[in-house]
Amino acid sequence: MHIEIDEIAKTFGTTAALHPVSLSLPSGALVALLGPSGSGKTTLLRILGGLEFPTSGRVLFDGQDATGLSVQERRAGFVFQSYALFRHMTVFDNIAYGLNARPRASRPNKVEVARRVTRLLDLIQLPDIGARYPSQLSGGQRQRVALARALAIEPRMLLLDEPFGALDAKVRKELRQGLRDIHDETGLTTVFVTHDQDEAMELADLVVVMSGSQSGGRIEQIGKPQDIRSKPASAFVREFIAA
Amino acid sequence: MQAATFNPTQTSLVPRLLIGLAVALTLLIVVAPLVYIFARAFGEGWRVYAENLLNPATLHAVWLTTITALIVVPVNIAFGISAAWVVARFRFPGRSLLVTAIEIPFSISPIIAGICYLLLYGRQGLLGPWLADNDLQVMFALPGIVLVTMFVTAPFVAREVLPLMQAQGSDQEQAAVTLGASGWQVFRRVTLPNIKWALLYGAVLCTARAVGEFGGVSVVSGNIRGQTNTLPLHVELLFNDLNATGAFAAASVLTLLALVALVAKTVLEARKAR
């Protein structure tokens, strides 16, 4: 799905989080929102997912105005930085949650739910953990379960907030490839937030470099990783990717 | 290794003394009076005990206390969850004031609550004439008893649930809505299971307090035997009648309820800690 961000601004009370930003994300792209903390990247991601609403500006999905759509109507697969797995449910029930929450008319039957959950567990390469509880999983496993849960609702896009933030270096590297593979297999437009330039450069097709200021976060440069490396658009970008 | 530096005679003597003291005090102050209640209640045999319990006024008091608890506890659960949810999930002016307000009943003597309600709803009170005109009896009747008990027990559920909700944050709830869940589905399948044990724990404490409330209720009930006497009030009445066995029989019912609540509380505490 093509995502168009048109002059989106956001203020929380008196604090400016996003200076008006505009951005066009081609369908099927794997996009990194890269920037230091306070650059508004997470706010932008949450606006896409419908968890925050912009103070001004529009969001368009495939050319249709989606600004006022509720979070449920967006059908965005969202992976939280904390993963936010349901502690009291098994991995199976976590992944099945979105399917079981559907209205009766469109809810798949039990057999179909089980089939889909099994397929997702295969996709994240953890076929045997359905009966476990989140507390029994490693950090990397939790992240993949959160990904499977987000994919279960057959989302129109995939949004990930610092998906590798809480993991150690070795697991990070493995899961980067895992996300790339899942993205390629599903073909979903995928946006992830990171403050790690290596991660953004290595993984993304398109990198959006953001910076923070008193007047809110703004976009410094949008481009392919190699273009950002070879032709940084501003002193900020040059310094940030060199760090 | 700090333990190695302890003097062995000291480590065995001091803890033993303290443990002995704690056990002795608990027996003397807590257990002995409880045992005495049952000893006195059964002192003249089973038959007298049963007769005293089956006395219509005593049965009515048990019934009134049960009804009061059955109304108060569910209302309190609903109030506690809503209050905790509002405070944990939203930032608004006066938020900390609301937290303080919820705790007021803990710091105020229940008898003051009773008097406040009397001044508000009583015949000479602020709303008294209006209530009288509309033929509504609040004071010296069930509504008054329920209102005061609600006031006294208001903080119990909220206080248990709030810290848990604050610690857990709203990530899981947000995740549920991104998965398409409606508000009710989020509450039913995510919020409620996460606070389940704390909620039950609060409800047990609330029940125990509602059943045992004396001071506030004594002001608004009017102590009409067989009509507005709750169980604790009835115990006092029997005692003033010099009917010690009757008083102790009624007290034994209250004590039993309290012990059941205590066991439930201990079990829930263990589950909650998990």
> What pLDDT, in 10s, does the model give residues B99-132?
999 999 999 999 999 999 999 988 888 888 888 8
Band of pLDDT at residue A166, cut at 50, 70 and 90: confident
pLDDT at res. A215: 86
How confident is the model at residue A218, as a pLDDT? 93
CA–CA distances in Å: residue A217 to residues A67, B9, B169, B170: 19, 67, 25, 24
**From A86, A150, A152, residue closest to B172, measured CB to CB:** A86
- Mean pLDDT, to the nearest integer, of B2-7? 52
- What pLDDT shows up at residue B126? 86
| Type of residue at B139 | M
Query: In which band, very low, low, confident or very high, does the pLDDT at B1 lie, cut at 50, 70 and 90?
Result: very low
Other Cβ atoms within 10 Å of B95 Cβ, number: 11
Q: Which two tokens stand for residue A95?
A: 């992944």
Supply B144's token pair. Answer: 């008054």
The yes-or-no verdict on residue B135 having pLDDT over 50 is yes
Give chain A's contact residues with B (Cβ, < 8 Å). Answer: 49-51, 71-72, 74-78, 80, 82, 84-88, 97-98, 101-102, 146, 149-150, 152-153
Helix (H) or strand (E) segment spanning residue A225: helix A225-230
Radius of gyration of chain A (CA): 18
Q: Which residue of A has its CA nearest to B174?
A: A51
Question: Residue A168 pLDDT > 90, yes or no?
Answer: no
pLDDT tens for residues A62-73? 999 999 999 999
Mark yes or no for CB contact B179/A101 under 8 Å: yes
Spatial separation of the C-alpha atoms in residues B30 and A28, rounded to whole Å: 71
Tens digits of residue pLDDT in B141-162: 999 999 999 999 999 999 999 9
Which of A49, A82, A88 is opposite residue B178, by nearest beta carbon?
A49
Nearest 5°: CA angle at A145, between A140 and A151?
Answer: 130
CA-based nearest distance A103→chain B, Å: 9
A-B CB pairs within 8 A amount to 62
In CATH, which of 1.10.3720.10, 3.30.70.20, 3.40.50.300, 3.40.50.1470 is domain B46-273?
1.10.3720.10
Residue B70: φ, ψ to 5°: -65, -30
Q: Name the residue among B175, B182, B189 with its Cβ closest to that of A80.
A: B175
Give the ranges where B90-109 is alpha helix by DSSP (H): 95-107
Half-sphere exposure at residue B166, Cβ-oriented, CA atoms within 13 angstroms: 13
Question: Has the ipTM of the complex gone over 0.85?
Answer: yes
- Looking at the DSSP bridge assignments, the partners of residue B267 are none
Domain ranges of chain B: 1-41, 46-273
A151 CA to centre of own chain: 11
Instruction: Inspect the interface and report whether the beta carbons of A75 and B182 lie closer than 8 Å.
Output: no
Q: State residue A243's pLDDT score.
A: 72
Cβ distance B178 to A102 less than 8 Å, yes or no, reads no
Contact B160, B202 (CB under 8 A): yes
Q: SS3 of B136, please?
A: coil
Instruction: Return all residues near A230 (Cβ < 8 A) that are at least 6 apart.
Output: none
Lookup result for tokens 């999905």: A61
Rounded-to-integer distance, Cα B151 and Cα B107, Å: 12
**Partner residue opposite B180 with nearest CB, options A72, A80, A86:** A72
Across the interface, whether the CB atoms of B172 and A87 are under 8 A apart is answered yes
Sign of the torsion formed by the C-alpha atoms of A150, A156, A160 and A163: positive
Strands A189-194 and A206-211 turn out to be unpaired
- B166 in Cβ contact with B95 (< 8 Å): no
- For residue B46, is pLDDT > 80? yes
Query: In B, which residues are within 8 Å of A53 by CB distance?
Result: none
Please, are residues B201 and B156 in contact by the beta-carbon 8 Å criterion? Answer: no
Local confidence band at B5 (pLDDT 50, 70, 90 cut-offs): low
Please provide the average confidence, as pLDDT, over all residues in chain A: 94
Question: Nearest chain B Cα to A82, which residue?
Answer: B171
3-state secondary structure of B158: helix
Q: Could you tell me the pLDDT band of residue B225, with boundaries at 50, 70 and 90?
A: confident
Pinpoint the alpha helices (H) of B4-55: 8-26, 32-41, 45-53
Q: Average model confidence (pLDDT) for chain B?
A: 89
The C-alpha atoms of residue B3 and residue B176 are separated, in whole angstroms, by 49
- The answer, yes or no, to whether residue A176 has pLDDT greater than 70, is yes
With a CB cutoff of 8 Å and minimum separation 6, the contacts of A146 are: A79, A80, A83, A84, A85, B175
Phi/psi at B263 (5° precision): -65, -45
